[in-house]
Structure 1
Amino acid sequence: MSKVAVKFMPNDVVIEAAPGEPMLEVARRAGIMIPTGCLMGSCHACEVELDDGESLCACIAGIPGDRPEITIHLFSDPVW
């Protein structure tokens, strides 16, 4: 299984991850804190956007394995 280079923006931190690895775990290993609420994808506190424009909830998402690198854009929500 090949690794995926995952870049977290705006922090500009890059880490390698296995395809399918839980996104929150990858962020934690990279020293990135993604806020969470329900941990079931319902509250959208952990919503991130991939470089292709797809929005998803990091708490229920794995690292896509369809490309060698991805960029994950983090949002800052003062309510969470």
Structure 2
Amino acid sequence: MPDDVTIEAEVGEPLLTVAERAGIDIPTGCLMGSCHACEVDIEEIGELCSCIFSVPPGYAQLTINLFSDPTW
């Protein structure tokens, strides 16, 4: 997993789109948040499925930690 990647994003921009622009591949499965293949940990918010999450308002910076699952 890459460390210390920084990228600017707009409020409402899908998290998977932001990751793709940053050159980071987040594995996906169902793309509906059911399978949790795309789960990430956002330090300021908690664990969530990146396929159904967009950049929220009110944060100057978010720290996103990726999980590594050899199944996906």
Is 18-27 or 49-58 further displaced after alignment? 49-58
User: Hey, which bits of structure 1, 4+ residues long, moved more than 2 A?
Assistant: none
Q: What is the percent sequence identity of the aligned residues?
A: 62
In the superposition, the TM-score normalised over structure 2's length comes to 0.93
Q: In structure 1, list runs of 5 or more residues that go unmatched.
A: 1-8
| RMSD over equivalenced CA pairs, Å | 1.4
Equivalent pair of 2:42/2:63 in contact (CA under 8 Å): yes
In the superposition, the TM-score normalised over structure 1's length comes to 0.84
Equivalent pair of 1:10/1:73 in contact (CA under 8 Å): no
Matched residues, number: 72
- 1:79 Cα offset (Å): 1.1
- 1:64 Cα offset (Å): 1.5
Aligned ranges 1:1-80 → 2 under 5 Å? 10-52=2-44, 54-80=46-72
